[in-house]
A and B are shown apart, each in its own frame.
Chain A
């Protein structure tokens, strides 16, 4: 299994996919940091310099939405094998298909966590410099890191696992991307706004619970009642493994022609 994961890491880093995804995620993160600093404070009428605990947490976790890129990373790292027909070689090397899917999942989890770390470091540098330049306190920001980082890293890893799971079922790359983005950007929000109690059960709700950050999917980030961190983590992991199990089952019976 170690060999499979090391091979997968070489596979991943020798394509443009992770670097392009990480770059886009970082650019969006930078824009979000700008938004935080440019937002006008309704009380004073001037620009906001984050200083409360929640504001500083929001600044440190400004890259949180980047979990969508961890998700895409997971989807792409498995569907690219079918798109470029490299699956033939992959299955010759690793003929037991659940091992192939499992290796991808572990690698994706590590890469997803890595993406979270990169985004946190970038935020600390970019957001920290801006904060200091605007007269804020960097040490106060750094103080919020332990509250934000573990949850964010965990959530990125969980989304990457889910991505591999979905990709193992929907091996058509375009279809898989449309389905995951359609679900996470549009359908899930509609579902939760119609049936508020569904929030804790949908993947994003489970991931938010796992992150242990008080954010929700409702208006203004309010929550309709989430699971606790452990429940959320297990539920999210469960979704990933469920898809992977279905995907492995299908792949084992699938003809690679």
Chain B
């Protein structure tokens, strides 16, 4: 049985962050959520012409990292919209890429799985599961001073990912490895695929590692407390929708957004949350409409 739960490793640490930091994190998560909610609705009404990988449900991890770990090179994977947007990637170019236009962030050649933006040092992903991890490590070897490597729980099983984690540990390279552990390789859960934990592997390679759930304050606090890189964070997240496409197979194990909203009410930030949501929703919808009208 899986031991996943929304409170795994979660710390009561929201007080460690200023209101401004908390609202910045929330704003970025809101951008990701409304962007993908609009996209999901669009996908339900029309054929987008290519596979699209939505990260709805997982957006708080990207938003929290963008606040706590800024100014890094980013090597993401196929489910990357939230990282792209949280770190300030060009929303117009992302929409164009998703609409299969030459003006997209990959010139219409990458699609949803391969997005990149040089202005935020986000490098493209080839689509080959996990190959961004050794490339991220190579960038650190080559001199990049702060590298974020994002992979999923399935990519953690790729031999070249394991080799890369070991190499980063051996050479003490400045890489923050983040695993978006949604417990699924398409539909196959982790405990069917393997009997080991990636954090045990990372620890045995000689780097600090942690398993936590995607509570954004816990993510930010964990990053803040990192003493040295490389470091491995396995973050349990819930993908709300299909591997590719807008459908779902029932409710997720937990809804991080609802949990965050509750915490924001406890922090008496509900009014500001409403303002942010209203502003972001309006911005995202008008931006999407503007691009769709140009088609």
Q: Are A and B subunits of one complex?
A: no
Which B positions have Cβ atoms within 8 angstroms of A? none
Which A positions have Cβ atoms within 8 angstroms of B? none
